[in-house]
Amino acid sequence: MKKTVILNGIAVGEVESTGNDEEDMEAVRAFLDARGLRKEVTPFQAAYNAALAFANTSAYLYERDLSRPPRRGQNIAPFVVNATFGIELYFKALALKHGKTLRGHKLVQLHKALPQAALDSIERVTPACARDRMLPGAPDFAGYVRQLNDIYSEWRYYYETERAGKVEIEPTIFVMQVLHAACCLADA
C-alpha cells in the first residue's frame, strides 16, 4: 500500500507503507531528503509553531463559541488554557529567536527574562496590536501578563476548585497578538 507524502499542503510523491508508523515516518524523511525537500526545524521555529497551534486553537474557540451570542460558556476554560499556554510558548520562542533559552511556566518571570532585543520587539509591535483590540484603557502589556501569570494552572483544573482567577478576554488576545507579531518581526 502506498501513502501520499504531503508537504506544505501539496502532494509531492508516495512512499510504500509498512503499517508501522515509525517506519513509515522514516520512509517519508528519506523520501524528502532524497529530493532535497526536508528542512531542519530550528528550536525557535519549533517553539513558534507550537505557540501558534495553541493560539490558533484559542482563536477558534473564541470566534466560534465566545465572541457572540449564543455563547458556549463551557468553552471558556479551553480558551483560557490554550491562550495562556500559547503565551508561555510565544515567550520561549521569542527568547530563542534572540539567542536565549527560557525555562519555567510563570509568565511574569518569562517576560522579565527576555533579552533586551526581544523586549524591544514587543515595544515596536504593541501600538499596532492595541489598535486591533478593545482594551480597557491604555495598553499595559506587562500588567496583562501579571494578571495572566498563574491563570494556566488555575484554569486547567478549574472544576476542582471553587473559583479560578479572573480572565479578561481582550487583554489576553492582545498579549497573544503582541507576542506573535514580535516573533514575526524581521530582525532589524
* pLDDT tens by residue, 129-146: 999 898 888 999 999 999
pLDDT at residue 157, as a whole number: 84
Instruction: Give the rounded percent of residues in the chain with a pLDDT score beyond 70.
Output: 99
pTM: 0.85
Whether 188 has a pLDDT exceeding 60, the answer reads: no
d(CA 57, CA 62): 9
**Any idea what the Cα angle at residue 159 is, between residues 153 and 160, rounded to 5°?**
75
How high does pLDDT run on average in the chain? 93
pLDDT at residue 187, as a whole number: 66
**Any idea what the Cα angle at residue 179 is, between residues 173 and 184, rounded to 5°?**
125
pLDDT at residue 142, as a whole number: 97
* pLDDT tens by residue, 15-58: 999 989 999 999 999 999 999 888 888 999 999 999 999 999 99
